[in-house]
Amino acid sequence: MSEGRGLLIIDPSVVYAEEEATEIVARGWAGTVRVRHPGLDPEESVDATTPYDHDAVVILGSRASVHDDLPWLRGLSAWLAPIVSGSVDVPLLGVCFGHQLIAWLAGAPVGPARVDGAKVEGVVETRVRASRLAPGRTRLRVVASHRETVLAVPDGWTVAGDRADAPVDILEHPTRRTFSVQFHPEAREGFALARGIAVADIDARVREDGDRVLSSFRELALRQ
């Protein structure tokens, strides 16, 4: 990619790298794009010693839980905490596990999405409340794949979207460019195949709404 603004994508997968997701998230960024896989490769760990030399950060999903006591997760949390608190100003978007980790670091509880512990998986509709990630939209058709969810709003943050299995489906900080979503705006056919979701459900509306969220974050991140 050309010289310019840099995006860091953190893929915290613990089974296999989410290459399709990374490619979708990276679309449209004019600068360099770097990817790290702290859950798969210790040499790609992110911790308190890692520089904040990025113009934006996106944290993807994972089968890990914010409650897991894992070395790579402790390191990532230590690095991420100053961004979440606002002491380091880097535009940030969390997706699914990334959403839960941001909310957890901000002081919100994270727990089972359903009483029986079953996984929420498939195409769902979320209600939007004036989100900067979905300007002008009142509903989004999106892909969900999660067993846990954010159970309450951290102090000082705003719920900008909700649905039955995710009362905090879109979380935003009102004065900073920090956002997170429980759903997967990057989910496409490969994501569906890997999780047993009907590929036909990844229709034009799902792709359009997912692209809108990602492009809105990109525009907000690059705004001076």
Average pLDDT over all residues of the chain: 95
pLDDT at 186 over 70: yes
Q: Which of 80, 78, 112 is nearest to 94 (CA)?
A: 80
Q: What angle do CA 166, 169, 174 make, to 5 degrees?
A: 140
Q: Residue 113 corresponds to which tokens in the numbers above?
A: 């999405």
186 is catalytic: yes
Helix, strand and coil content of the chain, in percent to the nearest 5, comes to 30, 25, 45
Catalytic residue among 99, 146, 173, 184: 184
Q: In the prediction, which pLDDT does 3 show?
A: 43
**CATH numbers and ranges of domains, the chain:** 7-222 (3.40.50.880)
pLDDT at 1 over 80: no
184 is catalytic: yes
pTM of the entire predicted model: 0.96
Q: Is 51 helix (H, G, I), strand (E, B) or coil?
A: coil
Mean pLDDT along residues 88-97:
98
Q: Which of 50, 37, 62, 23 is nearest to 148 (CA)?
A: 62
What confidence tier does 157 reach under pLDDT thresholds 50, 70, 90? very high
Residue 141's DSSP bridge partners are 125
Catalytic residue among 18, 148, 172, 186: 186
Q: Is 8 helix (H, G, I), strand (E, B) or coil?
A: strand
Q: In the prediction, which pLDDT does 5 show?
A: 65
Q: Residue 170 corresponds to which tokens in the numbers above?
A: 């879109």
Q: In the prediction, which pLDDT does 30 show?
A: 85
Q: What percent of the chain has pLDDT over 90?
A: 96
| The residue count for the chain | 224
Catalytic residue among 96, 99, 172, 173: 96
99 is catalytic: no
CA distances from 44 to 1, 75, 76, 121 (A): 21, 11, 11, 29
What confidence tier does 122 reach under pLDDT thresholds 50, 70, 90? very high
